[in-house]
Amino acid sequence: MPLRELERSEWSRYFANLAREFGAARDAVLEKLGISDSTAADMVPLDVVAYDPQDDLFEVVTAAYGHAIHHPRQIFVDETPSGPRHIEVLDAEGGTHAIALSMQPSHVGR
């Protein structure tokens, strides 16, 4: 599917819903985090992917890695029926931050 641009007004709600669906089970896996084509984290459990409108901050956190994008300009998602598989964030300086996700929701105990 093509990337869909999220409207700024839906960023916080979109990622809060994503955390509710996948966060508690911690079955979401970050496959690759590209920061200006220079840094990558492979196959690590994803703890947080969120947007904080008060601080205008997009955040990706794993047990071993944290990355904050201050004042993001645009956010794009590639959605599948099982959840987003790709998120791209355009930062204030025009840099692109790409996150590939492998989402496996767990319904055990729900």
- Averages of pLDDT over runs of 10 residues in the chain (110 residues) are 91 89 53 47 72 95 83 94 84 87 51
Distance of alpha carbon 80 from its chain centroid, rounded? 14
Q: How far apart are CA 98 and CA 89, in angstroms?
A: 7
Which pLDDT belongs to residue 107? 40
Domains and CATH numbers, the chain: 4-102 (2.30.29)
Which pLDDT belongs to residue 26? 44
Distance between the two ends of the chain, CA-based, in angstroms?
A: 30
Strands (E), the chain: 4-6, 29-35, 44-52, 57-62, 66-70, 74-80, 83-90, 96-102
Of 35, 16, 19, give the one whose Cα is nearest residue 27. 19
| pTM of this structure | 0.78
Which pLDDT belongs to residue 30? 53
Which pLDDT belongs to residue 109? 38
Cβ atoms of 99 and 87 within 8 Å: the answer is: yes
